[in-house]
């Protein structure tokens, strides 16, 4: 297998995994709103495909799930499985924050690599990676009528994604292979996010009045 | 007139009709929020053009109302007419649910046919049909600050659209002409939606706690 | 410098100015929600780039900030500057309405000119100008969980933008240079908006019940 093909294959499976994990978080969130099966699948699918769709539209690429039906099938399968498991077992409410962080890390690294392959300038690529990572979750939170996680206080969310994206770009600049750069970026995003959730790390904010 | 042209013409007029009906529902909803003429026309236009716009962006087609001004004129004319009629007569609040169901049926069948003509895979085409059908109404409800109809309980909405889209695709597979397939799909969506509204049919949902 | 180049250059700097002003309003609004630095920069960037992004997607152009990193840098720089100034000094809450009106005027004239250069029909071009003008502010208000300015009563907002866009188009039809037409449109939008804010001018609305 040529190295180039191998990277493409790696990014492909990364995408499938990210879609499955994000569909899961969407359906879990829909559970709390007592949506029915179709509603939950829709929220799951919007969560799974939203970020990559925005990225592809902005880069003027073919939208990834329109040309390859596998993504949609993955999203539906992961969503339906989650639906029936979550219906049977009473899962703790905060459980979905871990897959959400994993999905954020996967999609951010993936989106950054795709933008770089598309020869976007680095600042644009980093924003595109962050966008791919966060948009799905924002859509989910809007559809479920929650305050988007991204705007809750005391939790690095967009920042974790952005630093992960910058890590991917920086490692690539240092000559690291795209695959290792992606793993590095994912580790940074996931670690920052988990640490922020655990210790409520914050950035400088406007003073309260 | 060649058969191919005739289908295109049919889809064209279907689009015009769907735009007019959806503009009407948007303006009726804006009435309840006491918006002014321009605000109501904007909500009406977003409702009328939203679904098809998302479909065209995802399929990377020319956005339908950008290349042909007729759609915009139709939306404005239908919207302004509705505005002045609704201002004069006190229409019952639930009246707008019938045209909403008609608009859903028209746009869903139309969106599915457009996606099929674009050679989208069948699952993608069905989702595209549903998207064309529901996005306008979701935009309207968000702009008017309502809970989107699509997420209210006890009313098949997305499901009715989806089954209609699948009907269009299935009939096409059975060799039915595109025009008859579209009529079949519209009938399924409209019937399901009206029955669901009347008898509060529901899908399996998560249990309440 | 050829006249054609000069218009392009004029539109370029108009875009940079509009991005800076809109980023400022986004960050000022984020201040009231006590967001942190990254959250505020994101809201500022969405405000600054949202309208033009929607316009470019609808016209199937390259998204302006994806091909030229300058816009993103401008948005970040203007946003960060605003963040630290607003943190230090207690700015009056209504202050951000003036730059918001300026940003509306700049982006509306710019969006109209871009759509005309793209040979969009006049009604489409006027809507595109209005969209470029208002979408950024709507995104900002949604992200900050405010009722969008565009839908508040007693304040011409979309109407001011629309009349400005129609002015740009009308002046162009009368043979005025694109640059003067843009200035004319900006003046109309800004004046209408400021007058409406001062004197609470309203359009015919649905009666209250």
pLDDT tens sequence across A12-45: 999 999 999 999 999 998 888 777 788 889 899 9
Given this model, what pLDDT does residue C1 score? 44
Residue A78, SS3 per DSSP: helix
How close C152 comes to chain B (CA, Å)? 8
Above 80 in pLDDT, residue B4? no
Task: Establish if A57 touches chain B: CB-CB under 8 angstroms.
Answer: yes
Task: Establish if C63 touches chain A: CB-CB under 8 angstroms.
Answer: yes
Instruction: Indicate the pLDDT class of residue B206, thresholds 50, 70 and 90.
Output: low
Give the burial class of A97: count Cβ atoms within 10 A of its Cβ; 0-12 exposed, 13-18 middle, 19 or more buried.
Answer: middle
Q: Which residue has the higher pLDDT, A167 or B200?
A: A167
Complex confidence, ipTM: 0.81
Contact residues on chain A for B206, CB-CB shorter than 8 A: 30-31, 34-35, 40, 83, 86-87
Residue of chain A with shortest Cα separation from B127: A72
- Average pLDDT estimate for C108-120: 93
Instruction: For residue B39, give the nearest of C120, C127, C151 by CB distance.
Output: C151
Instruction: Indicate the pLDDT class of residue B208, thresholds 50, 70 and 90.
Output: very low
Given this model, what pLDDT does residue B204 score? 62
How close A204 comes to chain C (CA, Å)? 6
β partners of residue A36? B205
Contact residues on chain A for C73, CB-CB shorter than 8 A: 123
Lowest mean pLDDT among B96-100, C89-93, C109-113, C185-189: C89-93
Residue B78 phi/psi, 5-degree rounding, is -60, -40
Above 90 in pLDDT, residue B165? yes
Q: Which residue has the higher pLDDT, B122 or A94?
A: B122
| Percent of chain B predicted with pLDDT > 90 | 55
Residue C153 phi/psi, 5-degree rounding, is -80, 155
pTM of the predicted structure, to 2 decimals:
0.86
Above 60 in pLDDT, residue A208? no
How many Å apart are CA C13 and CA B209, to the nearest integer? 57
Contact residues on chain B for C58, CB-CB shorter than 8 A: 53, 57, 63, 66
Q: Which two tokens stand for residue B128?
A: 């595209």
- In this complex, the chains that touch B, judged by 3 or more CB pairs closer than 8 A, are A, C
Please check whether residue B31 is in contact with residue B40, taking contact to mean a CB–CB distance below 8 angstroms.
Answer: yes
- Average pLDDT estimate for A74-91: 89
Cβ–Cβ gap B35/C59 under 8 Å: no
Please check whether residue C167 is in contact with residue C114, taking contact to mean a CB–CB distance below 8 angstroms.
Answer: no
Given this model, what pLDDT does residue C140 score? 87
Residues 6+ positions from A193 with CB-CB distance below 8 Å: A101, A104, A105, A155, A156, A157, A160
Contact residues on chain A for C83, CB-CB shorter than 8 A: 206
Above 70 in pLDDT, residue C8? yes
**For residue C60, what are the CA distances in angstroms to A164, B67, B115, C94?**
30, 11, 18, 37
Cβ–Cβ gap C36/A203 under 8 Å: yes
Above 90 in pLDDT, residue B54? yes
Cβ–Cβ gap B86/C206 under 8 Å: yes
Given this model, what pLDDT does residue C92 score? 72
**For residue A166, what are the CA distances in angstroms to A137, A161, A169, A201?**
20, 9, 5, 20
Residue of chain B with shortest Cα separation from A63: B58
pLDDT tens, position by position, C165-207: 999 999 999 999 999 999 999 999 999 999 888 877 766 655 5
């Amino acid at each position: 297998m040529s190295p180039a093909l191998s990277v493409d294959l790696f990014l492909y499976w990364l995408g499938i995994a990210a879609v499955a994990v994000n569909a899961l978080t969407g359906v879990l969130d829909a559970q709390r709103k007592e949506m029915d099966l179709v509603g939950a699948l829709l929220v799951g699918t919007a969560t799974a495909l939203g970020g990559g769709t925005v990225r592809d539209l902005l880069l003027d690429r073919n939208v990834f799930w329109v040309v390859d039906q596998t993504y949609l099938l993955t999203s539906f399968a992961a969503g339906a499985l989650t639906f029936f498991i979550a219906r049977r077992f009473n899962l703790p409410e905060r459980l979905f924050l871990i897959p959400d962080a994993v999905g954020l890390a996967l999609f951010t690294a993936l989106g950054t690599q795709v933008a770089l392959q598309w020869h976007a300038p680095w600042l644009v690529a980093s924003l595109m990676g962050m966008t791919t990572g966060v948009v799905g979750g924002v859509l989910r939170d809007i559809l479920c009528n929650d305050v988007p996680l991204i705007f809750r206080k005391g939790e690095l969310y967009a920042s974790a994604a952005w630093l992960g994206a910058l890590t991917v770009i920086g490692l690539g600049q240092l000559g690291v292979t795209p695959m290792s750069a992606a793993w590095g970026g994912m580790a940074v995003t996931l670690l920052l996010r988990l640490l922020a959730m655990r210790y409520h790390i914050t950035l400088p904010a406007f003073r309260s009045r």
